[in-house]
Each structure stands twice: as structure tokens, then as C-alpha cells.
Structure 1
Amino acid sequence: MRKMIEFKEAKFENGVLHLHTEQNELIKGIKPAGQIIADSDKFAFVYLAENEEEYVYLYLDEPIWGQLKKALDEKCPVIAKSEEESFELDGFHEELDYLVSNIEGNGNYGDEMVKKVETAFID
């Protein structure tokens, strides 16, 4: 079964974007894989992390896209954290920038996803 971690809260602290999750057990022992994909059915970006056995999907849902845009624009580090663990999302800026530019005007992601991404990320 696919392991998914959702981040419902994103806060800037001292120039760093902290993505908070309460899924403490799932975040233990995972490392960044440095790749972001889109889940156009759930209107989310998905950062790939991994443990020793499998990928772990870090869901960056639409409600936090405003903070992701700010982190992208300002080149702020992005940290995934729980109460006990944290790690930086390596390659975040390059991956998200590439994916946003690929989604822009691209109906393959679905009209609604394109519209949401363009509204949130394209100036």
C-alpha cells in the first residue's frame, strides 16, 4: 500500500517554510528523493521521499499552494516536519518550477488542475 503524508499546515519561520504533519510514524526514517509529480485528481503536488523499502508520497495540497509559491519566489528552504523528525525537500525549487511550467496551458493535466495551478503560480 502506498504511504502518503499530508501537510495541512505550512508556516514561514525565519525565512524557512515548514510543512507540518501529525503523521509522526510515517515520517520517521524517510529521506528526500528530490522529485515532484502532480496528482491532478486530488489537485496536489506530490514530493517523493523514500525509506529503505519504498517511496513515500508527501502530498502538498491546494490550500498550502500560496506558501509554496512564496517559497518558490523567494528561494526559501522547505522543511517537512513532524513533532520528532524533519528534513529538507531537496530539489524543491527546480522540481516545482519545472512542473508548474509544464502544467501551464497543458490540458493533459485536466482543465481544472491547469486553471488552479495557473491561478496560484503564474503571475
Structure 2
Amino acid sequence: MAKKIEVTKLMITERDVSVFVDDNSALKDKHIQPEGRMLADSDHLAFIYILDVEEDFIYVSFPETVWSHLNIALNKNLPLFLYTDDDIRIPLLQFQEELLYFISNIAENSNYGKKMVDAVSHVFSIEM
């Protein structure tokens, strides 16, 4: 079963977004390959980014508490980088595209549940 770590903080600059997690011990000194794929976790109101870490998967959970920052990142088209250590960061490839897909798919789609639909439509407003 994949290990899940939760994003606790996003720091937005003019050039990118730094992503920090609650426990990065599973990422330290490991070979990490960003999968470029995401999942929606409607039970926990979160978006999940998948990492391939030495033949295992780690799910990086973006809970509703950081969605307002994700909305800013989307609107500014900023790349996201996950910090695995003080000076090592991993690009979250395809993050923008995957998140935009889920936002558009979840909008008014009862398959994700009313709470998820309401939360996504309340937080995300994509300026095209």
C-alpha cells in the first residue's frame, strides 16, 4: 500500500511554488520520480500527487486547507516543487494539467460527492 504524506505549507514566489510536507522522512536520500499523475480523494477533500520512490508509491496529499494557494498557483501558471530536504526539491511534473482536469471534471459532477463538488467550486476560480 502506498504511503501518504500531507502538504502542510505552500510558499508562492514570482517564479514558483515550494511545497512542504508534514513528514519528509520517506523522501530523504531516495531516488524519486514524479509520476505526473494525480487522484482526487473526495472522502478527505484532497488532491493526491503520485511519486514513484524506489519501486514504491508515495501519495502527496494536498488537503483543502492549501487549495486557496493552489488556486493562486494555477492562475499564475507557476510550477510546483516538493522539498525533500533543506536544499533538494523535486518538480511536480504535469501538476497544473492534472489539477485543471480534476477541477473541470469535478465541477457539478455528483460522482465526487456534494462536499467535494461544493469545496472545489468554492475555492477554485480559474482565470483563462
Compute the TM-score of the two structures, normalised by the length of structure 2. 0.89
CA RMSD of aligned residues (A): 1.4
Q: Which amino acid aligns with 1:42?
A: H
SS of aligned partner of 1:64: helix
Q: Which residue does the alignment assign to 2:77?
A: 75
| Post-superposition offset of 1:2 | 2.2
Q: Which residue does the alignment assign to 2:20?
A: 20
Residue from 59, 62, 65 that aligns with 1:63: 65
User: Are the aligned partners of 1:35 and 1:91 in contact in 2 as well (CA < 8 Å)?
Assistant: yes
User: Are the aligned partners of 1:23 and 1:82 in contact in 2 as well (CA < 8 Å)?
Assistant: no
1:9-36: CA deviation from partner (whole Å, max 9, x where unpaired) = 1111342111112423212322210011
Residue from 102, 106, 110 that aligns with 2:109: 106
Is 1:7 the counterpart of 2:7 in the alignment?
A: yes
The answer for unaligned runs of 5 or more in structure 2 is none
- 5 Å-filtered alignment, 1:14-53, equals 14-28=14-28, 29-53=31-55
The answer for unaligned runs of 5 or more in structure 1 is none
User: Are the aligned partners of 1:33 and 1:49 in contact in 2 as well (CA < 8 Å)?
Assistant: yes
Q: Which amino acid aligns with 2:79?
A: P
